[in-house]
Every structure is written in C-alpha cells, then in structure tokens.
Chains A and B, each alone.
Chain A
Amino acid sequence: MLNVRRDICGYCGCCVSVCPEGALELIDAYLAVDEKCTSCGICAKVCPLGALEVTHEK
C-alpha cells in the first residue's frame, strides 16, 4: 500500500499529475489516496521530497 509521510509531504501535487489511476487527490493541505491505488510507485518516484513510499505487508 501507499504510505504518505505527512512530516515530509509538502502537498504540492506533483504526484497527483502522474498517477495513472487517478487515485490521488490534493485536498487543500493534505494528500488523499483512494482505493483505486495499485501501489505502482510512480508517485513515490517523482516526489521531489521523498514523501511517498510503497510498503509491502508481509
């Protein structure tokens, strides 16, 4: 699943623009992730601050 590090996120919306599923939305000052997220990691790659991480549950 996708984990948003709120302490790092600068809520800029860079990730929202590249999400192929439309699963992210920047709602004022926080990033919302919905059930369409496939944990593809594209957003985590482009984040200028490194605020997003795909975690794999064991």
Chain B
Amino acid sequence: MKSKYDVLVVGGGPAGALAGRTAAEKGLSVLIVEKRPAIGAPVRCAEGIGKEALHEFIDPDPRWISADMTGAAIVAPDGFVMRLDSALAGGKVGYVLDRKIFDRELVWKASEAGADVAVKSRAAAPIMENGAVKGARIEFAGKTTDVKADVVIAADGVESKFSKWCGIDTTVPVREIMSSVQYVMTDIDIDEHATIFYLGNDVAPEGYLWVFPKGKRSANVGIGISGKKSGDGHRAKDYLDRFVKKTFPDGKTIEYIPGGVSVCRPLDCTVADGLMITGDAARVVDPLTGGGIYNAMYTGRLAAEVAAECIEKGDVSKKALMKYDRAWRESKMGKSIERNYHVKEYLIKQPDAKLNDIIHSVSKIDMQDFSTITLIKEIIKANPKLVLELGALAASLR
C-alpha cells in the first residue's frame, strides 16, 4: 500500500471491483480497500442476475455459477402459480451466482489489471481539504495510514458511511429499506432451474419471498419486508421461519444471512469534489426487484471511466465529476430504476385481492420473454385500468 494513488476505492464488492479494474486498465494507480478480512464473505445477497446483464461484464464461468435459470414462477397471495417457463426464453433468463467466488474473481481481475488490494482495511475517515475529498484514513490491524487520492470512489454498500462523513445524506427512509433474511437450504424439493417469487401481505408485506436454486435440492430461501412493517414478533425472520416450517420442514439451513436492501430512489447527487458514489452506497438498487449486482458493476465501471477522464484533465471538482452522475441517470439502468420505482410504489399499495387479479390476468398471456419490463407491460395490458392508476408511466410503456 502506497501513501498516494490516483484513485482510492472504498469497498471490494462488485461496484468497487469494477471501479478498481477499470481505473487500472485506464493506466491509473488504484487501491481497493475492503474492511472485511475476505472478499466475497459474508454474503448479503440472493445472488440472482440476468444472463445478458452479466455478459456485459464477464464471461460466465461454472466456478462461480451455482445454477442456470430457464424459468420463473410467481405465486399469488391466493396460492395460484403463474409459470414463466417456455421455449421462448431462448436459453436466456438468469444465473444464481456463488457470490463468494464471484466477488473474488472480480477483485482478482482488478488486481491482474494492476490494482492494489488491502483487506481487513477500513476507511475510517475521509481526508478533506477545503471541502474536497483528498483520500482516506485507513485502519489496518491497529495501525492508521493516510492514503491520499485524486478521486475516492465510495463503493461501501448498503451500510455505507464514507459519503455520509463527507456531508452527503445517504439515509434510507424506513419504509424503503427491505429488512431481509435468507437461509441457504439443502435437502429440499425444488425446481432446480426456476426462481420462485411469493407475493402477498401475509407472506412478505411490501416485499416478496424468494426461492432461488443453488443446485440440486439446494436454494437461497429468503425474504425482504418493508422496514415499516417490521417489528417485534413480525420481523423478516419471523415471516421466513413460518414459510420454511410449512414449505421445507425437513430442509437443512447451512447458511444464515441477514441483510438490508434499499428500494428508495438513488441519492440526489452521487458526486462531490473528489468523490464518486457507486452501487448500493449510491442507492442504485432496482427498487422493484431488489437486484443490485448489475447496477453496482455498471456504476463502478462508469465512475472509474469518468474519474480517468477528469484526472487526465486535472479537474476532479464536483462539476467535472457530474458527468458520471448525468451519464448513469440517462442510461438504460437509470431509466429502469426510475420506471421500476413507480411500479414498486404502485404494487406495494395493492391489497392481496388486487394482486391476485393482476397475476391471474397476466398468466393467460404467452410471454415473449422474461424481462421485468415485459412483465410490467403485460400487467398493464391485462389490466387496462392500471393505465389510469399508473398515469403517464403506463402510457410510456405501451
């Protein structure tokens, strides 16, 4: 670890790894600091990602793919199952990853490109000069080292502190944090090639419960509920335990994973002088699905690309770095977050009877593909009244 880098990346998850790798590939000196002693662990994720989305960043490798998804099912509150598994999928849909190995692979690639990596090394405070971020104070094994950098990329996840220390409000509203628990279960009867989503106010209030296969007779079984609905006796764990007892009474839990997933709008601004914010720390999780891996990799890479340009030009002011903020908001990802935010806001307000109606009506349609956008379009087509309720958003999708 040196005392000065072009770019300092705080956090060694997918956002930080892509930022580090991209910065290194652009010829910059870069350090990735990860507060945990190991990259990839503990897992805080249901591990699902679309195939095409993943392929934008890395070629699939069986070493970190747990299962190949060719179908999906949505279980309505009344128990009705809408299956989305047809030949139309054309081998697409998604993977369930093994994040412990996947995250390591991403950081390996960053280090191969030239990035320095420091684990069990925590950014404990920013170094500020005249209101601009100039690096961070790094703690490792009782020692503190000042690491200066032209640009700091905050990729410190849902529990992000770095940007808060720099004066940016990153607080997630209580109703927009998904309070989550997941068990990695084995010895359970599942369809090993389909992800299953359970909806309903008794099953997962303002969220959903998922079964994402990890291989034969093994799956991530998890739940996210709105923080607003959480409390003593009715926490995420209580809901999940009830489901597991009923559905997989003989299954064994081999990993116990709590977590928080933000489903709010992204931060109002994701840059400051000398600072860029990426991934979960920027609150760019898809508000409808809770998926964040792709968005993290996308913003991590984009941040490093813009950082490289700005460092080259000798201007890392907020104004110069704003190019990153504008670019992701205008991207397909940014637009999809905004659209899915509206859809989420609509769906969480619906009583179970309405959710049943929606799912029953859509199940009668032959879907062309499995993307969220197709599903939303079909929901609207099958429920013309939704056009009024969703307003301009629905019209823009037709």
Mark A residues whose CB is within 8 Å of B. 10-20, 22, 25-28, 42, 45-50
Contact = CB atoms under 8 A, between A and B. Distances in A.
A12 B174 contact: no
A18 B44 contact: no
B250 interface: no
B35 to A, nearest CB: 5
Interface of B: 35-37, 42, 44, 120, 122, 157-161, 164, 170-174, 177, 179-181, 227, 230-232, 235-237, 256-260, 262
A28 B159 CA distance: 11
Contact of A14 (B158, B161, B232): B158
B174 A14 contact: no
B174 A22 contact: no
Nearest to B236: A48
Contacts of A22: 161, 164, 171
A12 B171 contact: no
Contacts of B235: 47-50
Contact of A27 (B35, B42, B170, B227): B35
Contacts of A26: 159
Given A10-B256, A12-B44, A27-B122, A18 B174 contact: yes
B160 to A, nearest CB: 7
Contacts of A47: 179, 230, 235
A17 B235 CA distance: 17
Contacts of A12: 44, 159, 257-260
A22 B42 CA distance: 23
B180 A46 contact: no
A1 to B, nearest CB: 18
A10 B174 contact: no
A17 B232 CA distance: 20
B262 to A, nearest CB: 6
Contacts of A16: 158-161, 260
A10 B240 CA distance: 16
B56 to A, nearest CB: 27
Given A12-B260, A13-B158, A22-B164, A49 B174 contact: no
Contacts of A17: 158-160, 170-172, 177, 260, 262
23 contacts: A10-B256, A10-B257, A12-B257, A12-B259, A14-B177, A14-B180, A14-B260, A16-B159, A17-B159, A17-B177, A26-B159, A27-B122, A28-B37, A28-B122, A45-B174, A45-B230, A46-B177, A46-B260, A48-B237, A48-B258, A49-B235, A50-B235, A50-B237
